[in-house]
Structure 1
């Protein structure tokens, strides 16, 4: 990924730190000063790019001594991981979250690059958008994929 905007730069900066450490604590205002942006942009990046679907646990404390703690979730048991991912959503799933889950499955080496790209296409709005139940269909497809991957892990 070649960072193009401030949000991309913030994301890349935080991910670089997380490569070296398993957990980081940041302060919104300090990050905003560093990137010459408003603190709400830091919140936007954290809320959209550091989600559990993407493999991050985020804890936030507001106030004078407030912080945001970001931790990369480590997968110790693939079957348990797949079960937990399957429980992240119920009957509907938007495209952004569906794609985040596929990327996480790829990162955990449960999908090849080719399989991941095919699934990104299948779950895309351009394919499923013709259906009035797009989010329900996407959720059903992804639940089926996760169950199948979980079944294969047991063997």
Structure 2
């Protein structure tokens, strides 16, 4: 059974499938899904990040809104370049997984490849102390992304 966050994410993605830019009201969404507004914030922060291909803008106050924009690159190579540029000298596991999920959603990789990539950057595999673990993860992810740019 899906949790509230999954349902909210699915709802927003369905609306985005019709338009690449949408404006929502946090309070209306919270009322619709019978949750607190902070639940909406959580979904937007974790599931609609730049790593996943979205820009979220918000204006607070009485007439406030949340604008969600789906960013669509022209080519797979362009998307991979954007991802490589987003990776600093270190990257967290969550951010890495978000990038890999986007690659899967964009059809650049399949489910099996996504699982392999996520396994390779997992904190249990990279049994190092922070910040070294996040630096090694960044290097591994950059190398995998570079490999994806060129067809075999």
Task: Answer yes or no: same fold by TM over 0.5.
Answer: yes
Is 1:112 paired with 2:110?
yes
Aligned residue in 1 for 2:145: 146
Aligned residue in 2 for 1:68: 66
Partner of 2:125, secondary structure, is helix
1:51 Cα offset (Å): 0.5
Aligned residue in 2 for 1:26: 24
CA distance in 1, matches of 2:135, 2:6: 30
CA distance in 2, matches of 1:50, 1:33: 20
1:56 Cα offset (Å): 1.1
> Which digits, 9 at most, give the CA deviation of each residue in 1:106-151, with x for residues without a partner?
22222222211111111112212x111221111110111122223x
Partner of 2:69, secondary structure, is strand
CA distance in 2, matches of 1:80, 1:22: 18
CA distance in 2, matches of 1:31, 1:96: 25
> Which digits, 9 at most, give the CA deviation of each residue in 1:30-83, with x for residues without a partner?
111111111111111101110011111211111221111112211212222211
Query: Which TM-score applies when normalising by structure 1?
Result: 0.88
Alignment of 1:4-19 (within 5 A): 5-19=3-17
CA distance in 1, matches of 2:107, 2:73: 11
Alignment of 1:48-59 (within 5 A): 48-59=46-57
Which segments of 5 or more consecutive residues in structure 1 lack a partner in the other structure?
none
CA distance in 1, matches of 2:91, 2:58: 25
Identify the range of structure 1 (92-101 vs 110-119) with the bigger mean alpha-carbon deviation.
110-119
Aligned residue in 1 for 2:45: 47
Query: Which TM-score applies when normalising by structure 2?
Result: 0.90
Give RMSD over aligned pairs. Answer: 1.7
Partner of 2:87, secondary structure, is coil
| Count of residues in Structure 1 that have an aligned counterpart in Structure 2 | 150
CA distance in 2, matches of 1:21, 1:47: 20
